[in-house]
Amino acid sequence: MIPSIQFQGAEHCAFYFEDVHLMLVQFERESFRMLYLLTGQTGDALTLSFPGSLYTEQVMEQVERIFFVELNELQREPVRLALGAYFPVGSNRVGAYYERGSDETTLYFLRIVGDAPDVTLETIEDPSEHRAVAEAFQTRYQNVFFIEK
């Protein structure tokens, strides 16, 4: 029998890096982060495996600075976001973010600009670009995320 393991003082965040389902475990103490492949789920139990040092380094290099962010909107309290998916749309890279501690039904799409370690995020304000990103997200993750229309 495999025991159920829980890390105390850690935040667990499942996300997609392109088409790979991953679990980021961030420990409050020292902001230490670990990355696992999420390979299965039975009820509440998740099956994780270590993706290897090289893969972990490559993914963390791309997402570490942009994984947890705050979105500042006019006349509203900042919204604390976590990365739900990192995926390409044409020649751009996009992050689909959800509000930390929420029911994860509202997504925020942010354009990823530049290369690590100098990566930044920009809001997608053009309605046609936003529509194209939303359609690309829906096509790519339609069997993964429940998407209300």
Taking only the tens place, the pLDDT of each residue in 138-149 is 999 987 765 554
Give the pLDDT confidence score for residue 149 in this predicted structure: 46
Taking only the tens place, the pLDDT of each residue in 48-94 is 999 999 999 999 999 999 999 998 877 888 999 999 999 999 999 99
3-state secondary structure of 67: coil
> Of 86, 103, 83, which is closest to residue 26 (Cα–Cα)?
83
Q: Enter the tokens of residue 117.
A: 């370690």
pTM for this model (two decimals): 0.87
